[in-house]
Amino acid sequence: AGPNYIRNFAIIAHIDHGKSTLADQLLLKTGTVESRDMQAQFLDGMDLERERGITIKLNQARMRYTAADGCVYALNLIDTPGHIDFGYEVSRSLAACEGCLLIVDASQGVEAQTLANVYLALENELEIIVVLNKIDLPGAEPERVRREVEEVIGLDCSNAILASAKQAIGIDEILAAIVERIPPPADNRGKDLRALIFDSYYDPYKGVIVYFRVIDGELRVGETVKLMRSRKEYQVDELGVLSPKPVKVEALYAGEVGYLAASIKAVADARVGDTITLKRAPAAEALGGYAEVQPMVFCGLFPTEADRFPDLREALGKLQLNDAALVYEPEVSSAMGFGFRCGFLGLLHMEIVQERLEREYSLDLIITAPTVVYRCTSTDGGELTIDNPCELPDHHTDLREPYVRLEMITPKDFVGALMELAQQRRGEFVDMAFLTEARTTLVYNLPLAEVVTDFFDELKSRSKGYASMEYSVTGYRANDLVRLDIKINNEVAEPLASIVHRDAAYRVGRGLVKKLKELIPRQQFRIPIQAAIGSRVIASEAISALRKDVLAKCYGGDVSRKKKLLKKQAKGKKRMKTMGSVEVPQEAFMAVLNIG
């Protein structure tokens, strides 16, 4: 069958609007997956994804569907990740499609990621089918949401489909619309091979599995391919399509989506966005749009037990095979011992990596507070990149920090509270507009450092969960920033250093020493805790020594209580590091994040 019988589409939505649930229904309805084999969110393969109910890696599935015209169509579904950290992957998966389903929760309406995803779809000139989902909910207002999509996005919603992914309502209409309204891929089978990589995944037996869309030409098993960006060459061992389980094929043609295996060692060798061509007949030009993903957030990871360092190194190596966005290098500190400085796309990415290290590799880690990447000019005129606050030299000029354009969408009642939040976080007002009578969009320029702390949590709590946000990095700006050092027992605790705006330094310094006083357990001796800028102490507290009678009381006759206490201590011990002869618990390393 030629391209006329192929449809490539993605599903885009704000998180939780029902993308994965709808994908499940499409798989069921087309008989791609039998209902007895169906687990909820079938495409969300990773345990973590299932537990958190989010889609981390996008996945694809080919479905066979007999349309009203009696013809059999191959529908290639590409599931996209819904979170901002993975925005680049969304963009690549859309570039592999001719159309998309835009899911909007009919009880909620247009949210920040709905808009961001629609912009990406429009940039890629996709046909958009609007699906108003969750119409089974008593609070669903499909008519209001239909008007909202028309007014806010400017999409014609006269043929929007009303659906409930949960109750399998509207699924036939959606399948019919995919065939009728999404254009088939262009017939480029006669050209030199060009295929766009939109995902890759490491398999311990076959090497990297590369997911791609053939744009031009054809690819056969046994051919030697060349990756136009990385310039690497590989012989193709296996070609296939996911349905959603892998099914081997001999060849893939322009318009088709599939995977290949070619003994590629790490996903970094076959990056998302690269173009595959043939070594013997290379295409003249790579496909457009290849972005190096840059880690935006860094933190230190240290094993609580020093002898687990080699295990941590091995675990990171394994994770990186499958995660080209993860970067790390060894970090040694007198306080923390041997560990790694790791870079991530964002906070969610960071949390996922940390959780996998602890869960899949049974590592107990001390994690230092995340920091953004600063830039400055050193005294000898050199350009420095600072991803660890304690490495900021005392003498430098022109300290710059990354900025984002932040877009919030909120019911109008919370506009005041969110404007206040953005202003407190050094936000610079850009724009405010009414999306509808009830909802407002707020745009700010804001330092990324202010967003990666607890901004999202604050946004949610100040809006009772109703506001959503989306941001993208726009560039660097010089600000009056200083390094805030923390001294424990008169020793600088390097992992607790942070970079803050000078105007906030006193407040943060005071808050931090207070917090540390609460978090660090008392010892036999008095412990001074200070915050300092350079040699100037700006805040200080002290933890008084534990008195003998307190100890005596604790270790008194009550056996069960004593046991409990010992158990608690043993558990607490796991996540401690000694700094300035003082045991510092894990929470202390994150304290700086909670000082608003």
Provide the annotated binding site for GTP.
13-20, 79-83, 133-136
371 lines the binding site for ligand GDP (CB under 6 A): no
Comparing CB distances to ligand GDP, the nearer of 13 and 576 is 13
- How many of the other CB atoms lie within 10 Å of CB of 89? 23
Comparing CB distances to Mg ion, the nearer of 7 and 19 is 19
Comparing CB distances to Mg ion, the nearer of 11 and 140 is 11
Q: Which does 15 bind (CB under 5 to 8 A by kind): ligand GDP, Mg ion, none?
A: ligand GDP
DSSP H helices, 434-547, are: 448-451, 455-462, 502-519
Angle CA 561–567–571, to nearest 5: 145
d(CA 120, CA 374): 29
- In the bound complex, what is the minimum distance in angstroms from residue 16's beta carbon to ligand GDP? 4
- In the bound complex, what is the minimum distance in angstroms from residue 83's beta carbon to ligand GDP? 9
Comparing CB distances to ligand GDP, the nearer of 52 and 405 is 52
Q: 9, 32, 76, 82: which one contacts ligand GDP (CB under 6 A)?
A: 82
Comparing CB distances to ligand GDP, the nearer of 80 and 200 is 80
Residue 401, beta-bridge partner list: 477
Q: Which does 137 bind (CB under 5 to 8 A by kind): ligand GDP, Mg ion, none?
A: ligand GDP
Q: Which does 295 bind (CB under 5 to 8 A by kind): ligand GDP, Mg ion, none?
A: none
- In the bound complex, what is the minimum distance in angstroms from residue 504's beta carbon to Mg ion? 37
Q: Spell out the long-range contacts of 231-234 with Cβ–Cβ below 8 A and sequence spacing 24 or more.
A: 232/264, 232/269, 232/270, 233/279, 234/262, 234/263, 234/264
Which of these, 133, 174, 179, lies nearest to 29 by C-alpha position? Answer: 174
Q: In terms of DSSP bridges, do strands 439-447 and 491-492 run parallel, antiparallel, or are they unpaired?
A: unpaired
- In the bound complex, what is the minimum distance in angstroms from residue 55's beta carbon to Mg ion? 4
Annotated binding site: 13-20, 79-83, 133-136
Q: 80, 91, 114, 133: which one contacts ligand GDP (CB under 6 A)?
A: 133
* Residue 248: alpha-carbon gap to chain centroid: 31
Q: Which strands, in side-by-side order, build the sheet including 72-79?
A: 59-66, 72-79, 6-13, 99-105, 127-133, 161-162
- Per the omega criterion (within 30 degrees of 0), is the bond before 244 cis? yes
Q: Is 59 helix (H, G, I), strand (E, B) or coil?
A: strand
d(CA 420, CA 416): 6
Instruction: Convert residues 86-125 into a mask of x (bound to ligand GDP by CB under 6 A) and - (unbound).
Output: ----------------------------------------
d(CA 101, CA 26): 12
C-beta separation of 308 from 363 below 8 A:
yes
Residue 175, beta-bridge partner list: none
62 lines the binding site for ligand GDP (CB under 6 A): no
Two tokens, residue 168 = 């399998």
- In the bound complex, what is the minimum distance in angstroms from residue 114's beta carbon to ligand GDP? 11
Question: Which 134-193 residues touch ligand GDP, going by CB under 6 A?
Answer: 134, 136-137, 164-166
Comparing CB distances to ligand GDP, the nearer of 19 and 483 is 19
Q: Which does 133 bind (CB under 5 to 8 A by kind): ligand GDP, Mg ion, none?
A: ligand GDP
d(CA 310, CA 364): 13
C-beta separation of 96 from 78 below 8 A:
yes
Angle CA 100–145–40, to nearest 5: 55
- In the bound complex, what is the minimum distance in angstroms from residue 430's beta carbon to ligand GDP? 28
Two tokens, residue 272 = 């998302």
C-beta separation of 369 from 498 below 8 A:
yes
Q: Which does 17 bind (CB under 5 to 8 A by kind): Mg ion, ligand GDP, none?
A: ligand GDP
In 159-197, which positions are buried (b, 16+ CB within 10 angstroms) versus exposed (e)? ebbbbbbbebbbbeebbebbbeebebbeebeeeebbbbb
131 lines the binding site for ligand GDP (CB under 6 A): no
- How many of the other CB atoms lie within 10 Å of CB of 521? 14
Q: Which does 13 bind (CB under 5 to 8 A by kind): ligand GDP, Mg ion, none?
A: ligand GDP
Comparing CB distances to Mg ion, the nearer of 83 and 271 is 83
Comparing CB distances to ligand GDP, the nearer of 82 and 240 is 82
Comparing CB distances to ligand GDP, the nearer of 42 and 65 is 42
Q: Which does 392 bind (CB under 5 to 8 A by kind): Mg ion, ligand GDP, none?
A: none
- In the bound complex, what is the minimum distance in angstroms from residue 142's beta carbon to ligand GDP? 11
Q: 17, 57, 341, 515: which one contacts ligand GDP (CB under 6 A)?
A: 17
- In the bound complex, what is the minimum distance in angstroms from residue 592's beta carbon to ligand GDP? 31
Instruction: Convert residues 20-59 into a mask of x (bound to ligand GDP by CB under 6 A) and - (unbound).
Output: xx-------------------x-----------x-x----
Q: Which does 80 bind (CB under 5 to 8 A by kind): Mg ion, ligand GDP, none?
A: none
Directed axis angle between helix 347-360 and helix 309-321, to 10°? 120
454 lines the binding site for ligand GDP (CB under 6 A): no
- For ligand GDP (CB under 6 A), the number of binding residues is 19
Q: Which does 113 bind (CB under 5 to 8 A by kind): Mg ion, ligand GDP, none?
A: none
- In the bound complex, what is the minimum distance in angstroms from residue 91's beta carbon to Mg ion? 17
Stretch that binds ligand GDP, among 62-70, 130-138, 401-409, 509-517 (CB under 6 A): 130-138
Which of these, 360, 322, 320, lies nearest to 342 by C-alpha position? Answer: 320
Contact residues toward ligand GDP (CB under 6 A) are 13, 15-21, 41, 53, 55, 82, 133-134, 136-137, 164-166
